Amino acid sequence: MASIEAMDFEGFKSGYVALVGKPNVGKSTLLNHYIGQKIAAVSFRPQTTRRRQLGILTTEEAQIIFVDTPGIHSESFKLSEFINEEAQYALMDAELILFIVDVSQFPDKEDEMIATEVKTRAGDVTRLLVLNKVDLADPATIESHEAAYQKLMDFDDSIRISGITQFGRDALLGRIIELLPEGPKYFPEDQITDTYEREITEDIIRAAALTYLQEEVPYAIFVQVNDYTLRPNGTRFVHATVFVERESQKGIVIGKRGSMIKQISTLARQEIEEMSGESVFLELQVKVEKNWRNNPDFLRYHGLSHD
């Protein structure tokens, strides 16, 4: 006779699904679509996401816990160690890995590095190759590039989608559910993430900065939300500090007569309003914290260290 625990979730699927891939392949966009709300900042640059972030989708037949992973990279900063460890933990905890690629592009060294990390860390976890952006390539190119991606590792299956046209997204969701094991609901049905809006706001502000800033500056940026208060008039007041590592970077972030910080603030405010559904007043200040990416005390204080 089946145990009570088994009967509680008999036929119900659940598990952790790690989203891996390079920046700008559509991981965060796909996650936001399935959750039905912006919980992951979208940017074409690396390091927009620095921590693992859960997106929880509960249906009648399954609870899928998507894990949006930070991009694995090879920089030598102590911050880089933390980011890589976050990605590695996500791989080791997953029941299913979605390796998401831009099928309009041929695989490169970064794809190879991510594939190596998956093979090293994920053991025999089920792997699904998700070929995104099929709307950007002709059939012959898709066939050629898919064959090249298939050579990176042994995949259990592959599926083609388009985040823009919505082609294949329902089919992908169905395949994810098929591949997950039976299990319980790990989270309440109405919970969609383990991340507070305040933390999502920090990612959104950093993503806005990454959109406008060039060269080295974006990766030297850390954002701390100091105030996230709902005022009596219904407006959300957000005050945040943008940390950089050098005085010269501070000048770039602020811009001539404050032009750059104004652009960053405008874009970030719009994104925060979309995420929160509230009217937002955003105030940003810029401070210098020398060499913060290699400062163990700074990283530990802000939760960017596993020490």
| pLDDT per residue as tens digits for the range 179-220 | 999 999 999 888 888 777 888 899 899 889 988 886 656 678
Average pLDDT over residues 278-300: 91
Output 281 or 92, whichever has higher pLDDT: 281
**Ranges in the chain annotated CATH 3.30.300.20:** 197-301
In the structure, what pLDDT confidence band is assigned to residue 90 with cuts at 50, 70 and 90? low
Superfamily of domain 4-179: P-loop containing nucleotide triphosphate hydrolases (3.40.50.300)
Average pLDDT over residues 53-78: 78
Sequence letter at residue 148:
A
Q: Which residues contact 74 (CB under 8 A, 6 or more apart)?
A: 80, 113
| pLDDT per residue as tens digits for the range 4-32 | 344 466 789 999 999 988 877 888 888 88
Return the residue matching tokens 């500090």: 241
β-strand 62-68 against 53-58: which pairing, if any? antiparallel
Percent of the residues in the chain that have a pLDDT greater than 70, as a whole number: 83
Residue 133 pLDDT: 95
Architecture of the domain defined by 197-301: 2-Layer Sandwich (3.30)
**pLDDT exceeds cutoff 90 at 137:** yes
Residue 6 pLDDT: 42
Specify whether the CB–CB gap between 18 and 69 falls below 8 A.
Answer: yes
Residue 251 pLDDT: 93
pTM for this prediction? 0.70
- Label residues 72-96 b or e (16+ Cβ within 10 Å = b): bbeeebbbbbbbbebbbbbbeebbb
Structure tokens at 297: 């005390």
Q: Is 151 exposed, middle or buried (0-12, 13-18, 19+ CB in 10 A)?
A: exposed
DSSP percent split of the chain into helix, strand, coil, nearest 5: 40, 25, 35
β-strand 126-132 against 96-102: which pairing, if any? parallel
SS3 call for 297: helix
**Ranges in the chain annotated CATH 3.40.50.300:** 4-179
| pLDDT per residue as tens digits for the range 236-263 | 999 999 999 999 999 999 999 999 999 9
Percent of the residues in the chain that have a pLDDT greater than 90, as a whole number: 53
Average pLDDT over the chain, rounded to an integer: 85
Structure tokens at 1: 């006779």
Average pLDDT over residues 271-295: 92
Specify whether the CB–CB gap between 70 and 48 falls below 8 A.
Answer: no
